[in-house]
Structure 1
Amino acid sequence: MSNPQTGRTVSRVFTAAQTQEGAGFHVNRPFPTRMLADFDPFLLLDEMGPMQIAPGNAKGAPDHPHRGFETVTYLLAGELEHKDSRGHAGRLTPGDVQWMTAGAGVVHSEMPSQAFQQSGGAMHGFQLWVNLPRTDKMMAPRYQELPAANIPTAQSRDGKVSVRVIAGEALGTRAAIKTRTPILYQHFTLQPGGVLEHAVPADFNVFAYVIEGTGRFGAQALSAHARQMVVFDHDGVDLTVRNDGDAPLSFLLIGGRPLNEPVARYGPFVMNTEDEIRQAILDFQAGRMGQIRA
């Protein structure tokens, strides 16, 4: 059982804003918004969907650059194809994760696959932006791709709590992904009556984002439902989530060690100073981040 003296409380709960991204697809965005600018070391979280898309109407994110951070794409439904200026290409299907470290700079695209464009269907996924420390912002770009079948999973003894461990460790199971910034990224499902008691590093900023259902979070057992972000305080080394309802509760648990560095950001560039942002723009305009070949 969780020790009341070490259990984290919830400092705030708020609903994600709805906005548009890429070529005009709708996302639910808990941050950055007027409610929360960022969540060190995280810069953005977008939930794409869930939505039903008619044949021929799927939209994506055409060619665009990134520098100075990482993008983590986690797909729950649909199919995406990605290409980049370094000749890398791949496909994401339900349950897959792509971890792209933009580093010094890359141009890439994320678009619905041709097959999904023709058929339409359900689209649902997440993109998380993870800031890089100053020492890594100009590292060589890299990809880590993890098919759904290779993502470690675990389950509680009573079978009421299950998790897909994308980053960090949960229920005694460690992720396969290697991260530059120490973080945890876990997709939990709690069946009715399920209780999660989860240790987290004392220095991590931690939040939950509810995908489906309603749960009770933290030492106060505050209620939160789908499309809401739950921010945990720094007053403990473990946290508790309960599902007192009659339907499954699905949520992301995300946390990381704050970088505590200056953040300068402009669109797809995140650096430490305004001069570095200006240089990123110049490098992109001069073609030094490359271009995607047809």
Structure 2
Amino acid sequence: MPAVTVENPLTLPRVVSPADAVPRPVLTVSTAPAGFEGEGFPVRRAFAGINYRYLDPFIMMDQMGEVEYAPGEPKGTPWHPHRGFETVTYLIDGTFVHQDSNGGGGTINDGDTQWMTAGAGLLHIEAPPETLVMSGGLFHGLQLWVNLPAADKMMAPRYQDIGGGQVQLLTSPDGGALLRVIAGELDGHQGPGITHTPITMIHATVRPGAEVTLPWREDFNGLAYVMAGRGAVGADRRPVRTGQTAVFGDGSSLTVRADETQDAKAPDLEVVLLGGRPIREPMAHYGPFVMNSEAELRQAFEDFQRGRLGTVPAVHGMA
């Protein structure tokens, strides 16, 4: 799991939680069910079964892979529509190519992120490049859906390419944790992702036996999803492992600890930390659309069927 790393984390700025910070309790730990998405790549549904009041403003998150493809096996998604939210694709291993009907697109590799604001609507596709399909190889990443408030749901679409070298790298006081701030702010350090809904997204690598306590905005919710490894969360050290999501309660800091012993395949605890300011608006979600009412959902489907969300661009000069 390479993503973005450094040889000596102690060369990085260190994050310190205030002494008077109030620890966030762990309300629940859930296990993600496995399934398939797009053309058949394996996923874990990180937020399945969690009450939306704890997720808001996040809608869903899939861990894609980790899977080692044989030649000819790599898969992606076909062209499909979105409206009313943002998709965040964070790639840890492999290569993914994005293209959309608004002219956005690019290629992401280890540690890169694609941030697509669907807004009023578009069509897009995410797929491995032809060279990777032919060769096969390791594929592993995350896709997160972030809701937009009603005032922004019909905004113009936007695309951001966030290279792994752009993320803000931080560490814990003892250097036992490497913190990659992809979006939002942590202890005064800003990540590169531009968000409409205020959020923080961090990929943390915690070495065996290490513990990190982070300051956390009190007006944000708090979630921790374990991509790999074993550890504990919260002041009471609630056990967590690969494929599990911890939901934190109120407070101004959250704690993550890695077990002393990890598996050979996952030498460290790899966890994604998410926080966001809840939107607290009605949500109507069906398939690729996230709106505020059933009427708006019906309109989204009608607009898609009538071609108002864009058209598939020509490929290789072919209409």
Question: What band does the TM-score fall into relative to the shorter chain?
Answer: over 0.9
Greater Cα shift, 193-202 or 179-188: 193-202
AA partner of residue 70 (structure 1): E
Contact 2:104 2:158 (8 Å CA) reproduced: no
1:241 alignment counterpart: 256
AA partner of residue 190 (structure 2): R
The equivalent position to 1:178 in structure 2, one of 191, 194, 217, is 194
The equivalent position to 1:168 in structure 2, one of 184, 197, 206, is 184
Greater Cα shift, 140-149 or 246-255: 246-255
CA displacement, residues 163-201 of structure 1 (integer Å, 9 cap, x when unaligned): 110112235521011110010100011112322111111
The reply on whether 1:106 has 2:129 as its aligned counterpart is no
CA displacement, residues 236-275 of structure 1 (integer Å, 9 cap, x when unaligned): 1111112241342110000101100000111001100111
With normalisation by structure 1, the TM-score equals 0.95
The equivalent position to 2:288 in structure 1, one of 251, 268, 290, is 268
Classify the secondary structure of the residue corresponding to 1:176.
coil
Contact 1:264 1:272 (8 Å CA) reproduced: yes
2:12 alignment counterpart: none
2:135 alignment counterpart: 119
The equivalent position to 2:270 in structure 1, one of 240, 246, 250, is 250
Equivalent residues in 2 for 1:126-141 (5 A)? Answer: 126-141=142-157
The reply on whether 1:82 has 2:98 as its aligned counterpart is yes
Unaligned runs of 5+ in 1: none
Distance (whole Å) between structure 1 residues aligned to residue 103 and residue 206 of structure 2: 40
Distance (whole Å) between structure 2 residues aligned to residue 209 and residue 5 of structure 1: 22
Deviation for aligned residue 1:2: 6.7
CA displacement, residues 106-129 of structure 1 (integer Å, 9 cap, x when unaligned): 100001111110111100000000
The reply on whether 1:224 has 2:240 as its aligned counterpart is yes
Greater Cα shift, 213-222 or 43-52: 213-222
2:162 alignment counterpart: 146
Contact 2:21 2:215 (8 Å CA) reproduced: no
CA displacement, residues 55-102 of structure 1 (integer Å, 9 cap, x when unaligned): 111111110000000000000011111111122231111110011000
The reply on whether 1:190 has 2:195 as its aligned counterpart is no
AA partner of residue 207 (structure 1): L
AA partner of residue 281 (structure 1): F
**Count of paired positions:** 292
1:281 alignment counterpart: 301
Unaligned runs of 5+ in 2: 1-16, 263-267
Classify the secondary structure of the residue corresponding to 2:298.
helix
More strand per residue: 1 or 2? 1
Distance (whole Å) between structure 2 residues aligned to residue 245 and residue 14 of structure 1: 22
Greater Cα shift, 96-105 or 142-151: 142-151
Contact 2:177 2:211 (8 Å CA) reproduced: yes
Distance (whole Å) between structure 2 residues aligned to residue 115 and residue 70 of structure 1: 28
Distance (whole Å) between structure 2 residues aligned to residue 191 and residue 52 of structure 1: 24
* Percent identity for Structure 1 against Structure 2: 48
2:312 alignment counterpart: 292
With normalisation by structure 2, the TM-score equals 0.88
AA partner of residue 124 (structure 2): H
| TM-aligned CA distance change 1:204 to 1:37, over 3 Å | closer
| TM-aligned CA distance change 1:2 to 1:212, over 3 Å | farther
Q: Root-mean-square deviation (CA), in Å?
A: 1.6
Classify the secondary structure of the residue corresponding to 1:278.
helix
2:6 alignment counterpart: none
